[in-house]
Amino acid sequence: MFIDRKIGRLKAGLIVSAMGAAMLALPTASQAEIREMRLRAGTSQSDQHPDFLGFKKFAEIVSEKSGGKIKITVAPGATLGTDVQMQANLQAGTQDFMTTSPVTMAGQIPQVSILDLPFVFKSSEEYDKLMDGAVGAKFNELMAEKGWIGLGFTNNGFRETTSKIKAITKWEDFQGLKIRAIQNPMYLELFKTLGANPTPLPVSEIYTALETGTVEAQENPLPQIVFMRLFEVQKFLSLTNHSLNSVVLLMGKPSWNKLNDDEKKLISDAAREVTLYKRDLVKTKTADWLKTVQEAGVAVNEITPEERQRFADKTKPVVEKFSAELGKDFSDMYFAELKKIQVGSN
């Protein structure tokens, strides 16, 4: 009898051990719900640009978190189309991810134009906090209505001004300057208000236009100035910091809707991780980009706080006009949220 009970306990122990080993051998519940899939991502920027580097990091994180089940291929240099074309691809479900400047979505979501209004942000940290809060949530809501899922907002730093003939130290230095501007009504009015002669040109034509003298100046964030090698055809870089170059990571709603809850969480968690990574990357690289421009023989100058305020005063009518066009309730909410952040930073 004693021997039978001992054997019974031994068998029970072996069964429990076997069950435990089997449970350890199984993937976790969340991993078990992740399916194998191949997804496509695109950016209009080069393979050296922070947008592309951030995307590569995103693909690595997703692959790691999914145990290699989810693979994302990233195409740089507008391989999959222009920003507007890729936006349509996402809406149609023929492409899964992209990065873009929200201003390129203004044709379908006019409110995004508010992000580019001049002399509003004093630092990129203000933008980050704003887009991590109620304003970013509102934009995500508006984008979802159009077929895009917003996964995170970053930026490529402030837009700066380069020139062939003189440095910009005060707003009067823009007077009479032939400057390439984004093909956007707000930017055209901004430079007209400063007394410049803005010429709207696509980004692909900037270098040649500067080289041939079609325009004398242009404005872009530092990554574009460096990777487009604009320092080869310009003599001055003025850190006008007139607007922030915002970026959003998007997933098409058709692609998002194909994911189960575990896959959506994995993608969202990876996107948040890479959002913080890319924000730090841009801050870290800024000094290197400035050094590249200076080593090419370009004179770099900053704008004093007093002159920056004069810029803000001069361009206030532009801010008021385009804010009003976006609707009072929306604009009031936007600036109220920004003011909270700016007051809290003082």
Task: Give pLDDT tens digits for 21-35.
Answer: 444 333 443 455 899
> In whole angstroms, what separates CA 86 from the centre of its chain?
15
Secondary structure of residue 100 in the 3-state scheme: strand
Which H/E stretch holds residue 155?
A: strand 148-163
Would you state the pLDDT for residue 1?
Answer: 39
Angle at which helix 305-314 crosses helix 316-325, to 10 degrees, equals: 50
Residues 6+ apart with CB under 8 A from 309: none
Summarised one tens digit per residue, pLDDT across range 126-161 is 999 999 999 999 999 999 999 999 999 999 999 999
Is the pLDDT score of 97 beyond 90? yes
Residues 115 and 244: beta-carbon distance below 8 Å: yes
- Structural domains in the chain plus CATH codes: 32-345 (3.40.190.170)
What percent helix, strand, coil does the chain show, rounded to 5?
A: 55, 20, 25
Would you state the pLDDT for residue 183?
Answer: 82
Q: Helices marked H in 79-232 — which ranges?
A: 83-92, 124-131, 134-145, 185-193, 206-212, 222-227
Least confidently predicted of 17-21, 174-178, 333-337 = 17-21
More confident site: 69 or 46: 69
Q: How far apart are CA 83 and CA 112, in angstroms?
A: 15
Strand partners, 302: 239
Least confidently predicted of 12-16, 80-84, 249-253 = 12-16
pLDDT bracket for residue 184 (50, 70, 90):
confident
Q: What is the mean pLDDT of residues 284-312?
A: 96
Is the pLDDT score of 4 beyond 60? no
Summarised one tens digit per residue, pLDDT across range 50-64 is 999 999 999 999 999
Would you state the pLDDT for residue 59?
Answer: 98
Would you state the pLDDT for residue 344?
Answer: 82
More confident site: 170 or 3: 170
Is the pLDDT score of 276 beyond 90? yes
Q: How far apart are CA 167 and CA 174, in angstroms?
A: 9
Strand partners, 72: 39
Return the ∠ at Cα 216 (arms to 213 and 222), rounded to 5°.
120
Is the pLDDT score of 15 beyond 50? no
Q: What is the mean pLDDT of residues 295-307?
A: 97
Q: How far apart are CA 239 and CA 223, in angstroms?
A: 13
Q: What is the DSSP letter of 229?
A: T
Would you state the pLDDT for residue 252?
Answer: 98
Residue type, 90: L
Would you state the pLDDT for residue 204?
Answer: 83
Q: Which two tokens stand for residue 315?
A: 């361009």
Would you state the pLDDT for residue 202?
Answer: 84
Is the pLDDT score of 192 beyond 90? yes
Secondary structure of residue 215 in the 3-state scheme: coil
Backbone angles phi, psi at 100, to 5 degrees: -160, 155
Summarised one tens digit per residue, pLDDT across range 105-119 is 988 999 999 999 999
Would you state the pLDDT for residue 90?
Answer: 98
Q: Which two tokens stand for residue 321?
A: 């006009």
DSSP 294-305: HHTT-EEEEPPH
Would you state the pLDDT for residue 346?
Answer: 60
Would you state the pLDDT for residue 217?
Answer: 98
What are the C-alpha distances in Å from 254 to residues 99, 110, 192, 259?
Answer: 17, 23, 41, 9
Instruction: Name the residue among 184, 157, 161 with its Cα closest to residue 245.
Output: 157
- Residue 285, Cβ density class (10 Å: 0-12 exposed, 13-18 middle, ≥19 buried): middle
